Structure 1
Amino acid sequence: MDIEMQSMYDNQVWDLVDLPPNSKAVGSKWILKKKTDMDGNVHTFKARLVAKGFTQTQGIDYEETFSPVAMTKSIRILIAIAAYHDYEIWQMDVKTAFLNGHLNEDVYMVQPEGFVDPKYPDKVCKLKKSIYGLKRASRSWNLHFDEKIIEYGFIKNEDEPCVYMKTSGSTVVFLILYVDDILLIGNHLPVLKDVKSWLSKCFAMKDLGEAAYILGIKIYRDISKQLISLSQSAYIDKVVKRFSMQDAKKGRHMALSLTNLIVLVRIRRLKG
């Protein structure tokens, strides 16, 4: 919680003010969750401060809320292209992504539980940045990211608004955005490094190196054979445990085999 609050202060997310007459303040709450790695093991205990956006009123607290994300099939297609052409696949994560979005409306939020300013206990937070839980949080972040990446020279795919491409001669770089997860795919190391450097200047980023795990999907790569295998074993384990079927070994192995077979067939079809 202390780390989360420090990020709020560092990003100057709000100012403490008196609640204006005829205005209302949305509530706030803490969401606590465990983040797992590609094998399903817990590696981070995460505290996230969110606004109770369900109390917002359309036309008063917010307007448009739609925000696109990359489709899973687009990610699979581009990974298959990377396997065929032997492209690099790198991964980055945006820290506190939604805090990068700017608000166009006046939104007030009650002070977070456990962190009420003792000097101003009756004041509320006037939000300057988007915060998780607000109706427009995802939309504001997406618009800001889109603006920055296009400024760098990327072109947005007309049919897939979260897939971007930048080319120069024989150099090609693809960027895939899924909320705060980013995949960089390309054939020129210096250009890829420049893109990472640019992103790190614009946002607080975490460099995850070569892609190994995205959206619950493990990425196994065999460069010598120009093949990539995608596995959702951790997700399948989670599902079978949810329905108390963890002892059904045969069913799980069949599901895993089918998942990997579909991916390999798609890649081989592309190569053929």
Structure 2
Amino acid sequence: MIEEIQSIEKNQTWELVDLLEGKNVIGLKWIFKTKFNADGSVKRHKARRVAKGYSQQQGINFDETFSPVARFETVRTTLALAAQLGWHVYQFDVKSAFLNGDLQEEVYVCQLEDFIFSEGKSKVYRLKKALYGLKQAPWTWLEVRQDSNGKEICD
């Protein structure tokens, strides 16, 4: 849990603020998983802090959603080409991919009881970047951005 909080804070995902009147607050919860090695032994225990995105309302908490899914035909064609041309195929996972997307909307989440800071008991977090569980998290990750020359590029 501490490693997850450190990752979120290192990425400057949120800031502790007073809740503005009339703003909605989205709850948070912990998701725990045990990762295993190929032989079945425990590799590590993983904790992820997730927003309760099911409570979000379109037009209020988010505008767009997106689901980054590859078509099966594309995967099969790519693997067939790799086999035919002798390419090496690798799989990788970006550990905190969704945490890199900048939020355009004002989204507030509550603090969890186990990590409330004494100077901010009545405060909430204003998200600056996407958090797992938000409906717009995949969209912000894939959002069109501009490079240093002002030209639009896609991450």
Q: Which runs of 5+ in 1 are unaligned?
A: 149-155, 157-201, 203-272
> Residues of 1 paired with 2:39 and 2:70: CA distance?
24
> Residues of 1 paired with 2:28 and 2:66: CA distance?
22
Higher relative contact order (CA 8 A, sep 6+): 2
> Residues of 1 paired with 2:31 and 2:76: CA distance?
31
Partner of residue 45, structure 2: 45
> Residues of 2 paired with 1:10 and 1:67: CA distance?
26
Residue pair 1:15, 1:126 contacting (<8 A) in 2 also: yes
> Residues of 2 paired with 1:12 and 1:79: CA distance?
37
* Structure 2 residue identity aligned to 1:67: S
Partner of residue 263, structure 1: none
* Structure 1 residue identity aligned to 2:130: S
> Residues of 1 paired with 2:91 and 2:81: CA distance?
16
1:108 paired with 2:108, answer yes
* Structure 2 residue identity aligned to 1:74: T
> Residues of 1 paired with 2:105 and 2:13: CA distance?
14
1:59 paired with 2:54, answer no
1:101 CA drift (Å): 0.7
> Residues of 2 paired with 1:94 and 1:102: CA distance?
17
Report which of the two structures shows the higher radius of gyration computed on alpha carbons. Answer: 1
* Structure 1 residue identity aligned to 2:23: S
Corresponding residue SS for 1:134? coil
Q: How many residues align?
A: 150
Q: TM-score when scaled to structure 1? A: 0.51
1:71 CA drift (Å): 2.3
Partner of residue 270, structure 1: none
Q: CA RMSD in A?
A: 2.4
Cα deviation digits, residues 108-137 of structure 1 (max 9, x gap): 000133111111111000000000011101
Identity across the alignment (%): 47
Corresponding residue SS for 1:90? coil
> Residues of 2 paired with 1:96 and 1:37: CA distance?
21
1:81 CA drift (Å): 1.0
Residue pair 1:62, 1:135 contacting (<8 A) in 2 also: yes
Corresponding residue SS for 1:104? strand
Cα deviation digits, residues 79-128 of structure 1 (max 9, x gap): 12111110122333212111101111000000133111111111000000
Partner of residue 6, structure 1: 6
Partner of residue 26, structure 1: 26
Q: Which runs of 5+ in 2 are unaligned?
A: 147-153
Partner of residue 77, structure 2: 77
